[in-house]
Amino acid sequence: MNQEKNDDLRKVAPYLSSLEKKNSFQAPEGYFEQLPSAIQNKIGEAPAENKHKVFSLHYMKYAGAAVVLLIAGIYFYPKKTQQPINTFTAWNVDALTDDEVLDELNDYPIENETAIVVKNDDSDIINYLIDNKIDITEINKI
């Protein structure tokens, strides 16, 4: 069985099978005998104080205060009420005078007016009537 494994290894990985089989890891002389006393000595020592710890209590105080101030600032920050833009209200226009209509319209100014281009000629209307074969005399009857 072991011979079959070696033959398979030679076929699949000839370089690996040619390497010498030896234990290349060695512990220093008497290492395991001295290990328990070395561990006990390290446990008995006081830990070295590191003044530059990132998560030390000194820094955590300021970080906590900053978080509390941030949350309070977000909570108490005055919220701007947004005015509705271009709101439309159903009016009974027949019951309003011209001045009342103008006053209502002035309450809702148009912020972004767009330019309306008006042509003074009737060429678009004439072309539409010709393209759709509409007789002008029938329009006047309506």
List the chain pLDDT tens, one digit each, 142 residues.
Answer: 678 887 887 888 888 878 888 887 888 888 889 988 888 888 876 666 655 555 666 778 888 899 999 998 888 877 766 655 555 566 666 777 888 877 877 776 666 555 566 666 778 888 888 888 888 777 766 5
Nearest of 139, 86, 90 to residue 112 by alpha carbon: 86
Would the pTM count as exceeding 0.75? no
Nearest of 102, 104, 112 to residue 87 by alpha carbon: 104
- End-to-end Cα spacing for the chain: 109
Domain extents for the chain?
56-135
